[in-house]
Each structure stands twice: as structure tokens, then as C-alpha cells.
Structure 1
Amino acid sequence: MTQQWVKLELDTAAFDADRFGAYVTRCRDEGIALTTLAELGDTPERRRALYDLNKECSADIPERGEFFSYEEFCARRFDVPSYDPRGVVIALDGDDWIGLAVTSRHRDFVFNEMTGVRAAYRGRGISIAMKTFGMGFADVCGVSRMKTFHHPANASAIGMNRTMGFVDTE
């Protein structure tokens, strides 16, 4: 890959929770529940459901290539010190998993690994709602910075993050 990734960072202490909380409220009003893997229960079945959803949503990432095997996904996502099920936000329509916002903990920041919504549910603000709902994870971790990065062709993800207050970093 020859292009530079777009690296973004948010000061979570300055995040306008009131402004973006409306997205969370709208989701709830539309019957979309937001929860975490910790609240649901971090079970092998739910880890498989997370894998399936992540794989589906990752297919739209420019130049993503083939997705990890389930075993490799588990090794990279769950079998690492940065994993915490409180940082895995799931959007549910009834029992259907329709979106995820996965954030990992690091020494002085949290890192948004992946945010995605199933195609049929896009354009309704669910990604912003999930990320807003998950902002409290930074507080749980005792940090005030959230980082992420995107392929430069992923304009919708970059735009969403900038709308939320993320700024470019080196």
C-alpha cells in the first residue's frame, strides 16, 4: 500500500457529549439498543458473532484484503493485554447484531480499532451513536485521548470522526 493512513485523535474530555448524545437517543427511539460485550457476556458464541459482524463490515474498507481467520482474529482481538469487553460496543436490532465499535485500552489512550454498521442500517447515525456510547470507556481506563486511523479513501469514516471532533495527527 503506497498511501498514507489518516491518523486521528480526540480529546475525550472536550468531547461534546450533549451534542452527540442525540444520536444515542435517536437509536433507542428507533428500537436500536446499544450495549457492550461485557454487559452481554463475553462468551465464545458472542465472540463468534463479533467476528462475523466485523468480517462483514470490514469488507467495505478500501484495500482491506482477505479478512483474518477466526483463530487469527481471536489472537489479535481477544488474546492481547489491550482487550477489555467493556470497550466493545454492540448495536442490536432485537437479537440481530447490526453494528460494532471496538476500542482497546493502552497506557495513555484508547484506540478505536473498528467501527462498522451492516449495510442495511447505514446512514442512520448508528456509528456516531456507538462511538458516543463508548466514550465512557476512556474514563474507565483513566485516559482522555482516543486514537484511530483510516485508509485515505475511507471518506465516510474520516468525515464521521472529524464531525465528532477528531483531529489529524502525524
Structure 2
Amino acid sequence: MSDPWVKLELDIAQFDAPCFEKYVTRCGADGIRLTTLAELGDTPAHRRVLYELNKECSADIPERGEFYSFDEYVERRFAAAGYDPRGVVIALDGDTWIGMAATSRHGDFVFNEMTGVRAAYRGRGISIAMKAFGMAFARESGATKVRTFHHPANANAIAMNRRLGFVDAEG
């Protein structure tokens, strides 16, 4: 197999936002607040909390390997040209960070870097809510597409993205 990754793409104009608003509403009803790193404050302390959350959620990615050191994470996430704290959605239960959906800008598309929810909160539609909430950033940035890719064994992530309207990307 030359390229095992599942590459997916969503046409932002085709995204059915009203269909997924119920997930955002349900999070609110369950006491889960959705916000962005920009709204919380892109501070060193918040970057550290995001790192720890990302590290925890990434442990379930098939064949992920060892997670980056904090310094490597800062370089890859925050120093990257496409980084914008408005594109990092955070799900909060009170003051506890329970989920993240991080995207970066790349010209006419937004790349979904990572979406993850702590194990105790999974199965409640929080990932879908975060990604639907994050579509505002994608639109505001002038993107026409959202792209992502997954290890083929990451069936839950692939299914969640397909549910949102992502289709196989070419190339």
C-alpha cells in the first residue's frame, strides 16, 4: 500500500450548519462550553494545558508513537505559519478542558490538525459540536475547504468526519 492515510475534504459551502447546531446546543445543555483559544487567551499557561490535552487525546491514534515534547509542540503548533488561536476550539466542563479541535490556515483551505475528547466524555457528540463550532473560523478565514487525514484504523474519526460531510480527497 503506497499511501495508507485516509484523506478527507469538506466543501465549506456544502456544510449543513443547521443540521449540526443540535450538537452545539446539546453540549450547552450538558454544561459543556465551547470557546476558542483566542477567546480564552493565547497565554503560555493555556498553551501548556492544550499540550497536555492534545497529548492525552493523541494516545488513542493508531500507530501515533511517542508524542512531541512541549518545546517540539510549541514549534509545530504555535510557531507554524498557519496558526491562529481563533482556529483552536476548546470544550470546557466548568474549568476543565475536555476536548479540542485545532485547525490551521493554508490559503484557500483550513487543515484540521487534531480533534480529540477525553475518554470520559466521548460518545456525547462533543467532537462533532467542536468541529461544527469551528466552521465559523473556516468561513471567516476565507477558506473554501477543510482538509484532514487519518490512519485507516482510526474508524471513529473517519466516521465522524464523513457524518459532517467530508468526502475522500483526491491526491
| Interval of TM-score (by shorter of Structure 1 and Structure 2) | over 0.9
The runs of 5 or more residues in structure 1 that have no matched partner are: none
Q: Which residue of 2 aligns with 1:71?
A: 71
Give percent identity, aligned residues only: 73
| 8 A contact 1:3–1:152 mirrored in 2 | no
Is 1:28 aligned to residue 28 of structure 2? yes
Query: RMSD of the alignment, in Å?
Result: 1.1
Distance 1:90 1:104 in 2: 15
Off by >2 Å, runs of 4+ in structure 1: none
TM-score by length of 1: 0.98
TM-score by length of 2: 0.97
Equivalenced residues, count:
170
**Residue 156 of structure 2: SS of its match in structure 1?**
helix
Alignment of 1:130-169 (within 5 A): 130-169=130-169
Superposed CA deviations along residues 3-31 of structure 1, whole A, max 9, x for unmatched, are 61000000111101011010000000000
**Residue 61 of structure 2: SS of its match in structure 1?**
coil
Q: Which residue of 1 aligns with 2:93?
A: 93
Amino acid at match of 2:123: G
**Residue 146 of structure 1: SS of its match in structure 2?**
strand
Distance 2:31 2:103 in 1: 24
Superposed CA deviations along residues 94-120 of structure 1, whole A, max 9, x for unmatched, are 000000000000111000000000000
Amino acid at match of 2:133: F
Q: Which residue of 2 aligns with 1:61?
A: 61
Distance 1:165 1:41 in 2: 31
Q: Which residue of 2 aligns with 1:119?
A: 119
**Residue 134 of structure 1: SS of its match in structure 2?**
helix
Amino acid at match of 1:43: T
